[in-house]
Chain A
Amino acid sequence: MRYQNATAYRFLAPYLLIFSIFWLWPIIDSFLISFQATRTVPWRFSPTFNWGRLIGDPAFFNALKNTLLILVIQVPVMITLAIVMAVLLNSPLLKARGLFRFAFFAPVVVGEVAYSAVFRLMFNLDYGIINKLLNSVGLPSIDWFSNVTPAMAVIMIAVTWRWAGYNAIILLAGLQSIPQDVYEAATLDRVSKLKQFIYITLPLLKPIIVFCAVLSIIGTMQLFTEPFLITERGGPGGGTETLGLLLYRQGFRSLNFGYASAIAYTMAGLAIAISLVQLWLTRDPK
């Protein structure tokens, strides 16, 4: 191959231009802003103003705790569910495959606002269909949005409903790339279906599972729309406030850009840590 710098950069120019203006500079700028006191005009440099506030701010730790709690429960449940969906959708015994695929994959196209509205209505205390169904089998109504635990549950259910199928699509593609003859050989060796799943499917699928997990973690870490719309700005009483919501309130309600940037960089730090874990998990065995 010949070196073709001029031609290559002509094709890359528009992309790199957009990157430089709207990503590269903001990444740097955000870091710089996090060291500025932005409540005063003009802004002034003060390394401790935001970061000092951050480490002593109960609102920040509340949001961090909620975010991590959602992460730790929702992501494993969703990934497991996605694996189950993918494996079962891949079964040669399945009839009406198209209908099942539609059922699980359809949420992928539903926008955050649309589904937040539906979930909010479905879990309404007095008139929500969920409570009506609970009552019809003799169970009491649950006041989903006035207590922290059920409110968190609704957020997790909503996110899982929206994204499980998305991950199942990626996993299904991974499953279909595993050559069929591996399973045929195992069947001839009298390896049961369950053992085939544990000893063949899962190890071969591991890099894709990790990829899904990392994308899901990074997505959930920035969770904003669901607590913003479903649980009414992180209610009850900040019980479902996430880092994404705190950042929004600090940055765009209080216009405290410095503090919001510090929160953003905390999220970036978490993301980098998670990426490193991913690299470690999917490293080539020596």
Chain B
Amino acid sequence: MAGVLLNNVVKRFGDFEIIHGASLDIADGEFVVFVGPSGCGKSTLLRMIAGLEDISGGEIAIGGKTVNDVEPADRGIAMVFQSYALYPHMSVEQNLSFGLRMNGNPKADTDRRVKKAAEILHITDLMARRPRQLSGGQRQRVAIGRAIVREPQVFLFDEPLSNLDAELRVQMRVEISRLHKELGTTMIYVTHDQIEAMTLADRIVVLRGGHVEQIGRPLDLYSDPDNQFVAGFVGSPKMNFITARVLERGASGVTVELAGGTRLTQPLNGPAPEPGSKVVVGVRPEHFGHAGKGDADLSVTIDVVEHLGGTSFLYASTAAGDDIVIQRDAAEVSDAPEITVSIRKSYLFDDKGRRLR
């Protein structure tokens, strides 16, 4: 069992820097998810922890020991790959035992570990099959099983569910959660899917363009994002962004004017931008209410309505042309082409996307 420490970790390919100093302290037994759009460096960071990529700068420590120059096999980690990386010419049993056999682990111990992993993952009946005779979900289990037999201190998952269909993805997500509870081992998990991140993680690390944008518990990221990127990335459907202009700073906070004339006052502790400067108001679809029942009212034109059953999504545009999505109970949706909604909760960002609070 071990924690993982990243201290100002940098990755360069030639002159091209793709990770710009990431620092992170992962506690023993914690489930941490790296999330971000493709190309943000999350997989590279994971592969650096695994030892599959060189570390260009900074330090990575696992269980208190610096591992920068330690071979992947000696880092006490096990990794589950996106493509599962099962050896196609070996049976499930051989896949599970290959690493141990190759390293001369005693046969009795290998058998015991393989048996235990198979039981945990309910794949005991599949041991004689080849990978191509397995379904996607079964392959995924074998890939995880191969990680379990190593009895690692840290599990690394590289987008393990992205090759599965939607239903299986939910099922395996629950499975991985259960596994974490059962084993209690540190897990680091990479995904581009924020729902996976929200549902699995103890803590989420949001990455963009090789920078760590925010680190926090899932609900903290949702309710208190540090910047516009995190605010937009976490939550589904995405947070709406409406352009606005700073009017004045008063005792109760800062007042901004949305295009179309709507005024909104937000409490503010930090410094306020100059009056007249551009800001962005962020409102989650679920934070629109009935007219008159929030901080401010906003008139919108409805373009399209999607009924999902219990809830509906209204795709609308403001007078200034901002596209927004509004979440409503299905029963409350009318046919009116124009409606007025209230903003019950909002976030303010400056023109560089930083949160104003």
| Distance to closest chain B CB from A147 (angstroms) | 61
Q: Which residue of A is nearest B52, CB measured? A: A2
| Distance to closest chain B CB from A204 (angstroms) | 31
A-B contact pairs, 5 of them (CB 8 A): A1-B53, A2-B52, A2-B53, A2-B54, A3-B54
Main secondary structure, interface of B, reads loop
Q: Within 8 Å CB of B52, what residues of A? A: 2
| Distance to closest chain B CB from A155 (angstroms) | 48
Over the window 1-16 of chain A, the binary record of Cβ atoms lying under 8 Å from chain B Cβ atoms (1 yes, 0 no) is 1110000000000000
Counting chain A residues whose Cβ lies within 8 A of the other chain, the interface size class is: under 10
Q: Which residue of A is nearest B53, CB measured? A: A2
Q: Within 8 Å CB of B53, what residues of A? A: 1-2
Give bound CA distance, A1 to B52, whole Å. Answer: 7
Q: Within 8 Å CB of B54, what residues of A? A: 2-3
Q: Which residue of B is nearest A3, CB measured? A: B54
Give bound CA distance, A204 to B147, whole Å. Answer: 46
The 5 nearest A-B residue pairs measured at CB: A2-B54, A2-B53, A3-B54, A1-B53, A2-B52
Q: Within 8 Å CB of A1, what residues of B? A: 53
| Distance to closest chain A CB from B125 (angstroms) | 38
In residues 1-45 of chain A, which contact B (Cβ within 8 Å)? 1-3
Give bound CA distance, A3 to B55, whole Å. Answer: 11
| Distance to closest chain B CB from A152 (angstroms) | 53
Give bound CA distance, A3 to B54, whole Å. Answer: 8
In residues 149-170 of chain A, which contact B (Cβ within 8 Å)? none
Q: Within 8 Å CB of A2, what residues of B? A: 52-54
Give bound CA distance, A1 to B50, whole Å. Answer: 12
Give bound CA distance, A2 to B70, whole Å. Answer: 13
| Distance to closest chain B CB from A3 (angstroms) | 7
Give bound CA distance, A213 to B53, whole Å. Answer: 43
| Distance to closest chain A CB from B316 (angstroms) | 40
| Distance to closest chain B CB from A192 (angstroms) | 43
Give bound CA distance, A74 to B54, whole Å. Answer: 54
In residues 39-76 of chain B, which contact A (Cβ within 8 Å)? 52-54
Q: Which residue of B is nearest A1, CB measured? A: B53
Q: Which residue of B is nearest A2, CB measured? A: B54
| Distance to closest chain B CB from A109 (angstroms) | 30
| Distance to closest chain A CB from B28 (angstroms) | 27
| Distance to closest chain A CB from B50 (angstroms) | 11
| Distance to closest chain B CB from A254 (angstroms) | 55
Give bound CA distance, A3 to B56, whole Å. Answer: 12
Give bound CA distance, A3 to B14, whole Å. Answer: 12
| Distance to closest chain A CB from B46 (angstroms) | 15
| Distance to closest chain A CB from B19 (angstroms) | 15
Over the window 325-357 of chain B, the binary record of Cβ atoms lying under 8 Å from chain A Cβ atoms (1 yes, 0 no) is 000000000000000000000000000000000
Q: Which residue of A is nearest B72, CB measured? A: A2
Over the window 72-91 of chain B, the binary record of Cβ atoms lying under 8 Å from chain A Cβ atoms (1 yes, 0 no) is 00000000000000000000
Q: Which residue of A is nearest B13, CB measured? A: A1
In residues 157-207 of chain B, which contact A (Cβ within 8 Å)? none
| Distance to closest chain B CB from A18 (angstroms) | 30
Give bound CA distance, A189 to B52, whole Å. Answer: 51
Q: Within 8 Å CB of A3, what residues of B? A: 54
| Distance to closest chain B CB from A17 (angstroms) | 28
| Distance to closest chain B CB from A26 (angstroms) | 36
Give bound CA distance, A1 to B47, whole Å. Answer: 10
Give bound CA distance, A2 to B52, whole Å. Answer: 7
Give bound CA distance, A3 to B52, whole Å. Answer: 10
Give bound CA distance, A208 to B292, whole Å. Answer: 72
| Distance to closest chain B CB from A263 (angstroms) | 45
| Distance to closest chain B CB from A6 (angstroms) | 13
Give bound CA distance, A279 to B53, whole Å. Answer: 36
| Distance to closest chain A CB from B18 (angstroms) | 13
Give bound CA distance, A2 to B53, whole Å. Answer: 5
Q: Which residue of A is nearest B54, CB measured? A: A2
